[in-house]
Each structure stands twice: as structure tokens, then as C-alpha cells.
Amino acid sequence: MNILQILSNTLAQILAPATLGYVLAAIGLSVHFGFAGLLNMGVAGFMAIGAYGFAISILTFGLPWPVAVLIGLGAAVVFALIMGIPTLRLRGDYLAIVTIAAAEVLRLLFLTSAFRRQTGSADGLSGFQSGFRASNPLPPGRWGFGPWTYQSDQWWVIIVGIITIAIAVLLVWLLMRSPWGRVIRGIREDEDAVRSLGKNVFSYKMQALIFGGVIIAAGGIVTAMGTNVNPNVYVTSQTFYVWTALLLGGAATIFGPVLGAVLFWVVRAFLSNLLPALVDIGWLPFLTAEQSQMLVFVLVGVALMLLVIFRPQGILGSKKELTFVR
């Protein structure tokens, strides 16, 4: 068992495109659930629409990548409107069911062979990053330090991702201490009270749904910049993983989603490197290497249960601002 290799793989995960994407998705979800109390179970759908909007704009329509990014984000706005209009007037769990259904519909649309030309069907899309890579101002070659040694193109994805995360964190922080943010939190605590103050609750909820949705879609786009786009990634489980990441860090906090998403991936990478190694040296005699990978997901599920039961406010949250009000 090579402990150094395991640690190196684990630490490298911190800057992987998937981690950066999850950080953004968790920030967006914190706007939805943490601050506005909206039960968005369609996180994977928002990420998928960002990623596919970005990739299809480039591959099918030949647009430059900054325009493609805007189209990906715009598609998320439309998606939020479609889901919000029927459900935001209803009780919270209706939004949960509709968002999870809409995300699955989207995935099936990306998966069907009827639109193979545009979506690549089950194979997904690849080869759309060349424009983005051409805009890379960094010196070519492979550089970095320790576990964080990447190709120049990968560094470009990481830097763009981190800048996006910084902007998202700043925006959420500014908005949540503004009057708008106070109304949003008021809606989370008691919708009727806010309504009695003359605020248009529906409109505020819709704005929160769109704002958070755009951040989640940005997460999808950042992931797509670094890797290929594949419909099997955007399954319902991905939504649940982002929820786990958010609840781990703290739903109603600014830095909670960042910490939660990074921790989620680091622990996951650590376990999926460590457990097969333990199987190899015979410390887990009742498992095969393949089964030990599944054990990681069992542990994720158990962790989610324990987290919600024993520390629903997350690592950074305070018990006073508990988002589970209903």
C-alpha cells in the first residue's frame, strides 16, 4: 500500500474540475435551500443544462466559448422559470418532486438517441474545449508543485473555476446582507409573515431560484471545461451528492458550501483510493476491490443520514439559523 500515492491523489482532488463544479453547485444550492428555503432536488438538471448548453453551442452552432457560457447560463434561467412557475406557489415538497422530475426529463432528453447529432446520446460530447484552450494565456507545459502538477490547459480551467467561485461567493455574500437577502431569509422562516409585509413572495422566490440556478449551471460549465460531458454523470444521485456537500459545510452559510464540497470530494477520493488498497493488503477480507468502491457510496449515504439527524446546521452553521424550519 502506497500511502504517499493515496495522499497525493487525495490532495490533487481539491483542484479537480469536478470539485470546482461541485463547489459552485453547492453555492447555488445554498441560495436555494440555505437562504430561500427552496427544496431544489434538480441540481443535476441545472448542472446538465449549463454543461450541455455550453457544449452544444460550440459543437452544433460553432459559437465562441464566452458566448457559449452565456447561453449555458441563459438556459438555466429558462429552466428555473419553467420549474418555478407551476410550483413556487405550492408547498415546498411539490417543488422537490417537480425539480427532481424535470432534471430526470432533461437527462433522458440528453440520453435519447433521437437527438444523437446534437447531444451525442449515451456517449456524451467531447472536443468542444479547443476554443477555451486557445484563449489560455498561461505558459505551456506541465508545471505546479507536489500533488498539484497539471498541464497548462488544466491550470487554465482551475483558474477560471476559482475566479468564478470567488465571484459567486462575493455575490452571495453581498446579496445576503442586502435588503433582498433579508426578505429571502424571511421567506424561509415564515412566508406568510413576509407576505403580510406586502412583499411579492412568489417573485422573490423566483429570483432566488434563478440566481441559484445560474450559479449551479456555472458549476456545470466549469466541469465541462475540464472534462467531457456525459449524461450518465447528471443522474439523480449527483443531486444528492451536492446536497450532502452543502449540508456538510452548512446550508445557510457563505463558506459552508465551499468547505463542504471540497471536503466531500477529498474524503471520497481518499476512501476510494484507500479502501481498494486495504483490500489489496487483506485488511478487508470480505470485500473485493470493486465492492470497496461501492462501500464508499454506502458511507456517503450513511454520512448524509447522520449529518441531517445529528448536525443539521453543518460544520460552519449555527443552530440559531437552522434551515429546516418546516
Partner 1 sequence: MAIIRTSHAGRSPSRAVSLVLAGLFSVALLFGLAAPAAADTTDDEGGESLPFTISGNVRSGGEPVEGAEIAASNGDFEGEAVTDDKGRFSIGVPTKDGTWTLVLDEDSLPSGVSVPDDFVFEQEVTFGNTSTVTKNFTLGAAERSTVSFFDQLLSRTVNGLNFGLMLALAAIGLSLVFGTTGLSNFAHGEMVTFGALMALLFSAGVGLPIWLAIPLAVIVSALFGLGMDAGIWRPLRRKGIGTVQLMIVSIGLSLALRYVFQMGIGGGTRQLPGGTTAVIPGLGPIRLTMTDVISMGVSIVVIALFAWWLMRTRIGRATRAVSDNPSLAAASGIDVDAVVRVVWVMAAALAGLSGVLWAYFRPGIKWDMGTSILLLMFAAVTLGGLGTAFGALVGSIIVGLLVEISTLWIPSDLKYAGALVVLIVIMLFRPQGILGRRERIG
- Min dist CB 113 to partner 1, Å, is 6
Tell me how crowded residue 242 is: count the other CB atoms within 10 A of its CB.
29
C-alpha cell at position 106: 432533461
**Smaller CB distance to partner 1: residue 169 or 229?**
229
Contact 78, 135 (CB under 8 A): no
- Min dist CB 193 to partner 1, Å, is 15
DSSP, residue by residue, 114-174: GGHHHH-GGG-B-S--HHHHHT--SPSSEEEETTEEEEHHHHHHHHHHHHHHHHHHHHHHH
**Gyration radius (Cα) of the chain, Å:** 20
**Smaller CB distance to partner 1: residue 148 or 297?**
297
- Min dist CB 35 to partner 1, Å, is 15
**Smaller CB distance to partner 1: residue 174 or 306?**
306
In terms of Cα–Cα distance, which of 100, 146, 121 is closest to 52? 121
C-alpha cell at position 254: 457563505
**Smaller CB distance to partner 1: residue 64 or 86?**
86
Output the CA angle 44-50-56, nearest 5 degrees.
120
**Smaller CB distance to partner 1: residue 11 or 295?**
295
- Min dist CB 54 to partner 1, Å, is 16
Output the CA angle 302-295-231, nearest 5 degrees.
90
- Min dist CB 177 to partner 1, Å, is 25
- Min dist CB 187 to partner 1, Å, is 15
**Smaller CB distance to partner 1: residue 11 or 284?**
284
Output the CA angle 206-207-210, nearest 5 degrees.
85
Element (H, E) at 52: helix 43-59
- Min dist CB 273 to partner 1, Å, is 18
**Smaller CB distance to partner 1: residue 145 or 310?**
310
Q: Which residues bind partner 1 (CB under 8 A)?
A: 39, 82-83, 85-87, 90-94, 96-98, 100-102, 104-105, 108-109, 111-114, 120, 122-124, 126, 227-228, 230, 232, 236-237, 240, 243-244, 247, 286-287, 290-291, 294-295, 297-310, 312, 324-326
